[in-house]
C-alpha cells in the first residue's frame, strides 16, 4: 500500500494553511511534508505512525518486500557458494570468484555474464553484511511503495550501471559486490521521497548517501566507478519513474519500457567498452 496521490490537492488536516497531494496510507487524511512519517507501507500521519498494533490485511501482506528477500537470498547463496569453492574469509579466491568476478579483459574475451554475476559476489563477511543491511533497509522502504516490477528494474539497471562505471574507471581491477545496485536504490529512494514532498535530508537518507559517498572516495580498495555508476543509473531511472511517470499516467508504460531499454543499452556498453 502506498500514499495516495489525489488529482486535486487538499489542505493538511493538522496545518490548514498548507496544501498537499499526499494522504496517510492508513487513515487517508491529507498530510503535509512536516506531518509525514515514512514507513514500509507508505507515508503515515503522526497518529497512525504511533500506533503499536498494525492490522495485517490482504493488502498489507501483498505489499511485503518479497523481492528484496529474494535478492538478499541470492546474494547469500552466491556468497556461500563462493566460500564452498575455496573462497576463504576474504572471498577473493576460488572457482566461483574466478568465474564470476568483473574483470575487463575477461569480459572482452567473451565472459559477458560477469557484468551481472559480479553484483552477487562479495569479498568477505563485512562486505556482504553491509550491502545486505542497506539492501534490506532500502527494500523495505521502497519496494512496498513502488511495487516489485519498478523495484526490480531499478535494481538491475543500477547493478549494470555499477558494472559500467567500474569498467570505465578501473577496467583492469577485479570488482565484486552489490554496492552499485544499492547506491542506485538509494538514489531512487531519495527521488521517490522528493516526488512525494518529503525532504530526504530530514528523513536521514540524504545524509546516509553523503556518508557513503565520503567512504567511497576516502577508503582505498572501494570501486568508485561501481558506486557512482550505480548511483547515476538508479537516479536516472528513478527520476523518470517518480518525477515524470507518476505525474502522467500515459507516460508510465513508456518509462518502464525505456528503463528496460536503458538497462540493455548499459549491458551492451559494458561489453563494448571492455
Task: Please write the tens of the pLDDT for every residue from 205-264.
Answer: 999 999 999 999 999 989 999 999 999 999 999 999 999 998 888 999 999 999 999 999
Candidates 17, 10, 9, 22; CA nearest to 197 is: 22
Report the alpha-carbon distance of residue 218 to residue 220 in Å, rounded: 6
Q: Is the pLDDT of residue 56 over 60?
A: no
Residue 60 clears pLDDT 60, i.e. is over it: no
| Three-state DSSP class for residue 44 | strand
Average pLDDT over residues 55-68: 61
127, 163, 223, 227: the catalytic one is: 227
- pLDDT score of 39 more than 80: no
Looking at residue 78, its pLDDT comes to 96
Direct distance between the N- and C-terminal alpha carbons of the chain, in angstroms, rounded to an integer: 42
DSSP-derived 3-state class of residue 39: strand
Average pLDDT estimate for 124-134: 96
List the grid coordinates of 142. Answer: 521502497
Q: Which residue has the cell 557484468?
A: 115
Is the pLDDT at 2 greater than 50? The verdict is: no
Which range is least confidently modeled, 29-43, 156-170, 200-214? Answer: 29-43
Respond yes or no: is residue 227 known to be catalytic.
Answer: yes
Q: What's the pLDDT band for 40 if we cut at 50, 70, 90?
A: low
Q: Quick one: pLDDT at residue 88?
A: 75
Is 152 a residue whose pLDDT tops 90? Answer: yes
pLDDT of amino acid 5? 40
Q: Which residue has the higher pLDDT, 160 or 11?
A: 160
Q: Which residue has the higher pLDDT, 39 or 100?
A: 100
Please determine, for residue 47, whether its predicted confidence score (pLDDT) is greater than 60: yes
Annotation marks residue 179 as catalytic: yes
Report yes or no: 217 and 173 within 8 Å, Cβ to Cβ.
no
Query: What pLDDT is recorded for position 137?
Result: 95
**Alpha helix (H) ranges present in the chain?**
46-49, 58-62, 66-82, 95-100, 104-108, 114-117, 125-146, 148-169, 179-195, 200-203, 205-218, 224-239, 252-273
* Residue 51 Cα to chain centre, angstroms: 28
Q: Which of 23, 25, 179, 259 is catalytic?
A: 179
Which residue pairs, CB below 8 angstroms and at least 24 apart, start in 72-75? 72/132, 72/135, 72/136, 72/139, 74/120, 75/120, 75/122, 75/128, 75/131, 75/132, 75/135, 75/178
Boundaries of every domain in the chain: 10-59, 65-269
Burial class of 16 by CB neighbour count within 10 A (0 to 12, 13 to 18, 19+) = exposed
CB 5, CB 246: distance < 8 Å: yes
Backbone angles phi, psi at 102, to 5 degrees: -80, 125
Average pLDDT over residues 172-201: 94
Percent of the chain with pLDDT over 70: 91
Decide: 103 and 157 in contact? Cβ < 8 Å: no
Percentage of residues in the chain with pLDDT exceeding 90? 66
pLDDT band at 107; cut points 50, 70, 90:
very high
Distance of CA 30 to the CA centre of its chain: 28
Higher pLDDT, 199 or 70: 70
Question: Higher model confidence: residue 190 or residue 43?
Answer: 190
pLDDT at 129: 97
Q: Which fold has domain 65-269?
A: Rhomboid-like fold (1.20.1540)
- The x, y and z cell numbers of residue 20, run together, are 498537499
Amino acid at each position: 500500500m502506498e500514499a495516495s496521490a489525489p488529482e486535486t490537492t487538499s489542505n493538511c488536516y493538522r496545518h490548514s494553511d498548507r496544501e498537499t497531494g499526499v494522504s496517510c496510507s492508513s487513515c487517508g487524511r491529507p498530510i503535509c511534508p512536516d506531518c509525514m512519517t515514512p514507513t514500509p507501507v507508505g507515508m503515515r500521519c503522526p497518529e497512525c505512525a504511533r500506533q503499536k498494533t498494525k492490522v495485517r490485511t490482504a493488502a498489507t501482506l501483498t505489499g511485503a518486500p518479497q523481492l528484496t528477500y529474494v535478492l538478499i537470498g541470492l546474494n547469500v547463496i552466491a556468497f556461500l557458494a563462493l566460500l564452498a569453492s575455496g573462497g576463504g574469509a576474504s572471498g577473493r579466491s576460488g572457482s566461483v570468484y574466478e568465474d564470476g568476478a568483473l574483470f575487463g579483459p575477461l569480459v572482452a574475451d567473451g565472459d559477458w555474464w560477469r557484468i551481472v554475476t559480479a553484483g552477487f559476489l562479495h569479498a568477505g563477511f563485512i562486505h556482504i553484511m553491509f550491502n545486505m543491511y542497506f539492501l534490506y533497509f532500502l527494500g523495505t522502504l521502497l519496494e512496498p511503495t513502488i511495487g516489485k516490477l519498478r523495484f526490480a528494474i531499478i535494481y538491475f539497471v543500477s547493478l549494470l550501471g555499477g558494472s559500467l562505471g567500474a569498467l570505465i574507471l578501473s577496467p583492469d581491477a577485479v570488482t565484486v559486490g552489490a554496492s552499485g545496485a544499492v547506491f542506485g536504490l538509494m538514489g531512487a529512494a531519495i527521488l521517490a521521497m522528493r516526488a512525494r514532498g518529503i525532504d530526504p535530508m530530514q528523513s536521514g537518507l540524504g545524509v546516509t548517501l553523503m556518508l557513503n559517498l565520503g567512504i567511497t572516495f576516502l577508503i582505498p580498495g572501494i570501486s568508485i566507478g561501481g558506486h557512482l555508476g550505480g548511483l547515476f543509473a538508479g537516479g536516472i531511472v528513478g527520476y523518470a519513474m517518480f518525477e515524470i511517470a507518476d505525474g502522467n499516467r500515459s507516460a508510465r508504460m513508456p518509462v518502464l519500457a525505456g528503463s528496460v531499454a536503458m538497462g540493455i543499452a548499459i549491458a551492451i556498453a559494458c561489453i563494448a567498452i571492455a
